[in-house]
Amino acid sequence: MYDEVLKDLGNKKITKGKLHQIVEHNFELLPVLVEGMSSQKASIRYGSGKVLMDLSEKYPEKLYPHINSFIDLLDSKYRIIIWNSMAIIANITSVDTEKKFDKIFNKYSSFLRDDYMITVANAINNLGKIAKAKPYLIQKITKKILEVENIELTPHLTEECKRVIAEQAIGSFDLFFDNIDDKNTVLSFVERQLKSSRKSLRSKAAEFVRNHCE
């Protein structure tokens, strides 16, 4: 049966939504999907990743025993699998009793210096979740996110990309600002975005200032 699940996913005989429902009634299928994330077939690889990512939001404790596999997948040659793994790890840090994430903090936060905007943005968003799950890491996370203001441009990361990244950073800071020690540095970062050429970034920065300074 287990082999058939991945085969059906690969041949599109089963939808990701249906597979999600099946696994909810039989969590013994989780290792099969974890294995599927390394499949050579794209439909299996990405289908498995999407289902596991969705499940990790609702059942982090079920996926936690597989955290080492998701950590290994941070080295995947496929960016989507890296993004899926980053999200899954972030979701299951809420049950990380063994502090396994803490041991890979530097590796995880290194994605903030990636050449691709989407990877950096994903890292920022997920670090916001992790800060909520692990408040004792908030100061380290804050320092790392602030560094994205000075991220180097690449063929895949333009000035406009940096503005998108800054917008994501403000969104993450909003999740845990009350617990940040160096609030003034964060506020200075946000206030610099008030003059941005990107309208949504200006609005995000203005809203942040209103919420936390007035």
Q: Number of structural domains, the chain?
A: 2
> Do residue 27 and residue 111 come from a single domain?
no
What pTM does this model have? 0.96
Query: Rounded to an integer, what distance in angstroms lies between the CA atom of residue 105 and that of residue 127?
Result: 10
- The pLDDT of residue 3 is 73
Asked which of 65, 99, 133 is the last residue of a domain, the reply is: 99
Banded model confidence at residue 201, pLDDT cuts 50, 70, 90? very high
User: By three-state DSSP, how is residue 154 classified?
Assistant: strand
Whether 126 and 92 map to the same domain: the answer is no
Whole-Å CA distances, 60 to 25, 30, 56, 178, 202: 15, 12, 5, 26, 35
Q: Tens of pLDDT along 23-50?
A: 999 999 999 999 999 999 999 999 999 9
Q: Are residues 111 and 9 in the same domain?
A: no
Instruction: Please give the average per-residue pLDDT across 115-125, as a whole number.
Output: 97
Going by C-alpha positions, the residue among 75, 7, 86, 74 that lies closest to residue 47 is 7
Structural domain harbouring 53: 1-99
* DSSP at 134: -
Count of residues in the chain: 214
Residue from 29, 27, 9 nearest 18 by CA: 9
Between CA 54 and CA 14 the distance in angstroms is: 16
**Structural domain ending residue among the three candidates 70, 99, 128:** 99
User: Binning pLDDT at 50, 70 and 90, where does residue 1 land?
Assistant: low
User: Is residue 159 predicted with pLDDT exceeding 80?
Assistant: yes
Phi, psi for 152 (deg, rounded to 5):
-75, 145
Together in a domain, 38 and 130: no
pLDDT at 147: 97
- Clarify whether residues 130 and 209 are in a common domain: yes
Same-domain check for residues 144 and 182: yes
Q: Same structural domain for residues 198 and 141?
A: yes
Same domain? 3 vs 76: yes
Q: Which two tokens stand for residue 11?
A: 């041949």
